[in-house]
Structure 1
Amino acid sequence: MLEPNPLKDGSDDSWVPKVGMEFESEMEAYQFYDNYAKRIGFSIRKNRLNRRASGVISLRVYVCHKEGFRGNKKEEWEVKNPKLYERTGCLAALTLKITNNGKYRVTDFEAKHNHPLVIPNKAHMIKWRRISKDRGVLAEDSRMIPRADDEVMNGHAGDHQHFINPSLTYKNYLQSKRASAVLPGDAGAALQYVQERQIDDPSFFYAVQLDKEDRVANIFWADGKSIIDYDYFGDVMCFDTTYRSNNYGRPFAQFIGVNHHMQTVFFGAALLYNETLESFKWMFETLKAAMSGKQPKVIWIEQSTEISDAIAAVWPGTVCHFSMWHVYHDAAKHLSFAFQGSKTFALDFSKCVYEIEEEEEFQSLWKEMLEKYDLKDNQWLAKLYEDREKWALPYSRHIFCADMKSTLRKEDLSTELKQWLCPELDLLQFLKHYEKAIDDRRHAELQADFQACQISPTIPPTRMLKQAANVYTPEVFKLFQREFEMSMDCLVYTGGELGPIADYKVAAEGEPTEYIVRVDISDGTLICSCKKFEFMGIQCRHVLKVLDIVNIKELPQRYILKRWRKDAKAGSMRDTCGFAFLGDSTSSKAKRYGSLCRIFNKIAARAAESLEAYTLIEGHLDQLMDHVYQIMQNKPFEKH
């Protein structure tokens, strides 16, 4: 027998039923026991009932939904799905009797259950209510969860962090069966994981999509730190679906980005058992909901028409580009004979993918590679070349990538996780390992934050380098410093002037390629034909050389991106949490509540990293609450 222990921390037990408790009505007692059941992890049914001649209920028994045993007798209501949950003869129950004063008193309370309980605070996952015959009853199976519309219909729809987002309800169901089979126990393990995480992290967001048989098709989740990181660094994102081409055993995908230290950050993860256009639309809609509607400027994906079309539908205006990293990994699969049959092919192909920035050089080297390795008739390479504008560097220099290609090459997390995704291992093992991998990288970010503020690099006494060292993180400063040093070897030729606009031809000594730098002194605009700033957000050597020539000794502030600064995560909360509705008398409580939750989530995430910061915030809470109380005392109650 399993006896729940809800009071491990010695907290208030007023919500736990006790013999002798009295309630004003039978309905009040029902609500009390139902709330208790949700917190413990089971659901209740109304069972025995006695009435007096007047019709007044004199005795009522509520039982666990697994009370009794299910026989062959058909239930009194019809069901759409015949796979009903199993009853185990559980004896947990609450008995009420009416007293002489008309109140209902608890005369018997059995707390022990003979079956496992669901994670506390997640009883909405097992709502075994009698519902209309056109809705059906859902099986208590690790692969089955309640319908979203039943959840709303019964008045138990959770907040936006639960598995159903009401605004997405119509998209939460596939019209087909899921494409990939869920391994035994995986759906239950995944749901257990996200439920446990949400208990520890109130900002944790997860969502589940079902197929037409009400079975889990896709699961998405993002913890509170991921949501905060997306707010800071979600301008550029990679949707990593390496599992599709490498057959890792489980359909795991992740949304990743790059922080101000050039490190990988994680925005969310998913298990995708269905890979249709409809499923990918749901995935991006769900991510959009988790991130309060904010969409990335650029997203890097694998070569997939379904994913591209889904992004175009959900995020109009977001640039969708094929990830060079994915292109290389796909090539390793489709051209395995070339990789294995030559010691130099990998190097030559890698150069085409990652290094060549000029169109003419790219085309020349590509043609040379096809001839050298006798690949002129290879259809996969022909299609890849046909799509070159969607992935090759010479055609994407105008697209900001936050140097994602370098970060992904340095740190291939998917390869590290591959061994944990194999079907022979329990899914929970993988999820725990994935969580630890993320925690390790977040710890590295904290260390980098500390070092950026405490350790100053040794730099020459030049104003521009001093300026850069003060504002950029060390990793970004290294890149800038290299451009600055390389600018010393550049030669400048005047190309012509037209009013406030001047063009300069810049070339590295001994190099034939010339770049055009345009300077507009009327508004301080600096543009170089190499497009390095547009691509990486760091000014190039050619612009730095021209600035020196025209006696500008500091980099204009507009060319120091906030995302590369040491204080990338500082600044006004209004700038990052969204206050578009402030001052709008029609703004709703829900909007204000959501915005405040995001604000306090950010504060909590930062303050939790330090005991001193935590103590500071804790010390101001009472004072803050007093101010709020005073405002509420002097203001009329607002309904909306």
Structure 2
Amino acid sequence: MARALIEIMLEAYHGLCTWNLMQNCIKHLGNLTKGESHFLSDFKKCMYEYENEDQFDEGWRNLLATYDVKENTWLQKVYTIKDKWVSCYMKKVFTLGMRSTQLSERVNAGIKGFMNVNLDIIKFFKRFEHFVEEKRYNELKCEYEARQKISRLRNSYSKILQQVSELYAPSIFYQFQHEYELFENCYVKSIDMQPPLIDCVIVMESNLGECRLSLDLDKNSICFSCRKFESFDILCCHCLRVSIHMDVKSIPEHYNLKRWTKLARSETSRNIDVNYMEEDVDLS
């Protein structure tokens, strides 16, 4: 698959499913995961917790030394493709936070639930259509709740939270609100103002790392080293810290992408069955 993607889908980025990677880790290094061993948790740290590549390399060397696995061929192979599973490498990629095949596995499990060897092609498609209708019904239900329910604000006086609560679908709003909570753990370490360009360093307390930001006031654009927006399409706590520091009261429109808003599906094509579902008495 990896070789085919390189040749055929040049714009695609091939990553490894982190759940399957952990299972392979247990399979190849099961002897290190027994008893009071912390090998799996230390391996997960290498996967998720390091902010930059230098920190990862240091953590990886400590892992190999601590458990005396420098000569392990599976770990050597996994290290050569670290850009496919390590967070500080994957943050350069537009992943929307997806790190596993959970979404496709869930669909597969749903289809397998009504499959059996005795189904003819007609019965299969009838059951398949019913399965798809249930998925679409759930989407409509989520849309209804997003438009009718008011998201709970942790800080009801925040102009930025008020803005995004009206725009974002609930699940994305709560992720954004988590970033807003983290911004209170950040402070501006240094700032160099040469309008229209502003460069600054944002540090998170409790040794959670730092982030470098560059703002262009003329273009109303922001570049930041954590790459939260590039990978997930929502602004990070570092950006919010600078925004508050600069007395910015709202998020620029081009940083509020439609895909996360309550109107994300407003221009999607309608299937003939959707009209029936929209008049469903349960939704009413």
User: What TM-score results when the alignment is normalised by the length of structure 2?
Assistant: 0.81
Deviation at 1:396, TM superposition (A): 1.9
Deviation at 1:363, TM superposition (A): 2.1
Q: Which has the higher strand share?
A: 1
Deviation at 1:382, TM superposition (A): 0.5
Q: Which has the higher helix share?
A: 2
**Structure-to-structure mapping, 1:491-640, within 5 angstroms:** 491-511=187-207, 513-571=209-267, 599=269, 602-604=270-272, 606-611=274-279
Question: CA offsets per residue over residues 65-94 of structure 1, 9 Å max, x none?
Answer: xxxxxxxxxxxxxxxxxxxxxxxxxxxxxx
**Structure-to-structure mapping, 1:444-523, within 5 angstroms:** 444-459=138-153, 460-511=156-207, 513-523=209-219
CA distance in 1, matches of 2:171, 2:224: 23
Q: Percent identity?
A: 27
Deviation at 1:510, TM superposition (A): 4.2
Deviation at 1:335, TM superposition (A): 3.3
1:476 is matched by which residue type in structure 2?
I
CA distance in 2, matches of 1:355, 1:399: 17
More relative contact order in 1 or in 2 (CA 8 Å, sep 6+)? Answer: 2
Q: Is the 8 A contact 2:201 2:212 kept in 1?
A: yes
Equivalence for 1:316: 10
Deviation at 1:440, TM superposition (A): 5.3
Question: CA offsets per residue over residues 315-340 of structure 1, 9 Å max, x none?
Answer: 22223333334423433433344445
CA distance in 2, matches of 1:364, 1:418: 44
Question: CA offsets per residue over residues 479-537 of structure 1, 9 Å max, x none?
Answer: 11111122123111443234411011111234373211111001101111111111111
CA distance in 1, matches of 2:144, 2:236: 28
Matched residue SS, 2:69: coil
Q: Is the 8 A contact 1:311 1:320 kept in 2?
A: yes
Count of aligned positions: 273
Deviation at 1:568, TM superposition (A): 0.8
Deviation at 1:570, TM superposition (A): 1.1
Deviation at 1:406, TM superposition (A): 7.3
2:117 is matched by which residue type in structure 1?
D
Task: State which of 92, 101, 117 in structure 2 corresponds to 1:398.
Answer: 92
Equivalence for 1:413: 106
Deviation at 1:366, TM superposition (A): 2.2
Q: Is the 8 A contact 1:324 1:392 kept in 2?
A: no
Deviation at 1:359, TM superposition (A): 2.0
Q: Is the 8 A contact 1:328 1:353 kept in 2?
A: no
**Structure-to-structure mapping, 1:76-95, within 5 angstroms:** none
Deviation at 1:462, TM superposition (A): 1.7
CA distance in 1, matches of 2:56, 2:165: 35
2:239 is matched by which residue type in structure 1?
V
1:547 is matched by which residue type in structure 2?
S
| Cα distance change, pair 338–311 in 1 and its aligned pair in 2 (3 A) | same
Matched residue SS, 1:563: helix
Question: CA offsets per residue over residues 285-337 of structure 1, 9 Å max, x none?
Answer: xxxxxxxxxxxxxxxxxxxxxx1232233322223333334423433433344
| 2:67 paired with 1:373 | yes
Q: Is the 8 A contact 1:527 1:543 kept in 2?
A: no
Q: Is the 8 A contact 2:18 2:99 kept in 1?
A: yes
CA distance in 1, matches of 2:144, 2:237: 29
Q: Is the 8 A contact 2:18 2:100 kept in 1?
A: no
Question: CA offsets per residue over residues 424-466 of structure 1, 9 Å max, x none?
Answer: x63859x79x957766555443332221111102221221101
| 2:38 paired with 1:344 | yes
Equivalence for 1:356: 50
Moved more, 315-324 or 449-458: 315-324
Quick check: which has more Rg, 1 or 2? 1
Q: Is the 8 A contact 1:397 1:535 kept in 2?
A: yes
Report the RMSD for the aligned CA atoms in angstroms.
3.4
1:451 is matched by which residue type in structure 2?
E
